[in-house]
């Protein structure tokens, strides 16, 4: 017997955190009974229905995806926009994104049907580095780089990027290229860091997640993670 939210995550339906939200919203039914108590335990031998969908155990799958610009990181979109799952029509399992990249942000995104893995990768305590390259308006100065490195308060929390480097400036076009490595998992973190020092982000690309890179992939392409890579990511997260 396991906690119900853990079973739902293991089924690949959603992350454990999302499962807890659905339970609180009384959208989970076990053996005909609505369950909202987070301490409730069950097993896959029980009939578990989430939002009207019968769930069952699935073999876990893990993907690395090169997200294009103009694609949303959701399983569906009420505005009819293209979603990351449109690139996974050949995958039979119910997978979903691990975290999100903004609509206009490109680069490395993980997808899985392993809710426990997804939750671990997204948890702030895991502190897995994410490497971004940002093209911003204006000329970024050395003092501004130092200011970002010194830490900036976002959402009542002091944020310290792992690395900030001014890569290139274009005085004719009045733009700059900045490399930033973060690990806090704050929404729109890179954009907010740059806005703090007066620069709007024009383009943003995530080039690495931990040791994973986009090597060998073109925009819109994907590949499965190896068992070794999955184990490495889990070890990185739990050993922080």
Q: Say whether 155 is catalytic.
A: no
Enter the DSSP assignment of 70.
T
Q: Which bin fits 198, alpha (ψ -120 to 50), beta or left (φ > 0)? A: left
46, 78, 102, 156: the active-site residue: 102
Residue among 108, 134, 131 nearest 219 (CA):
108
Q: What is the rounded radius of gyration, in angstroms, for the C-alpha atoms of the chain?
A: 20
- Does residue 50 sit in helix, strand or coil? strand
Helix (H), strand (E) counts: the chain:
6, 17
Q: How many CA atoms lie within 13 A of 74 on its CB side?
A: 11
DSSP-derived pairing of the beta strands 105-112 and 201-209:
parallel
Catalytically annotated residues: 102
């Amino acid at each position: 017997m396991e906690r119900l939210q853990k079973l739902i995550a293991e089924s690949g339906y959603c992350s454990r955190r999302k499962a807890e939200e659905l339970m609180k919203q009384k959208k989970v039914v076990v053996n005909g009974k609505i369950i909202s108590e987070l301490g409730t335990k069950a097993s896959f031998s029980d009939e578990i229905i989430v939002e009207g969908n019968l769930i069952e155990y699935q073999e876990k799958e893990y993907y690395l995806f090169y997200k294009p610009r103009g694609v949303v990181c959701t399983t569906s979109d009420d505005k009819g926009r293209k979603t990351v799952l449109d690139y996974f029509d050949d995958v039979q399992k119910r997978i979903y994104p691990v975290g999100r990249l903004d609509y206009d942000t490109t680069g490395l995104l993980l997808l899985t049907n392993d809710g426990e893995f997804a939750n671990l990768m997204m948890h702030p305590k895991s502190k897995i580095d994410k490497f971004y390259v940002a093209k911003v308006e204006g000329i970024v100065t050395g003092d501004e780089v130092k200011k970002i490195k010194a830490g900036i308060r976002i959402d009542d929390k002091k944020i310290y990027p792992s690395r900030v480097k001014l890569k290139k400036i274009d005085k004719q076009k009045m733009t700059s290229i900045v490399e930033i490595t973060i690990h806090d998992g704050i929404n729109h973190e890179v954009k907010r860091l740059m806005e703090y020092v007066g620069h709007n982000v024009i383009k943003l690309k995530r080039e690495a997640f931990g040791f994973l890179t986009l090597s060998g992939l073109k925009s819109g392409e994907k590949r499965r993670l190896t068992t070794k890579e999955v184990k490495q990511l889990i070890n990185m997260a739990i050993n922080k």
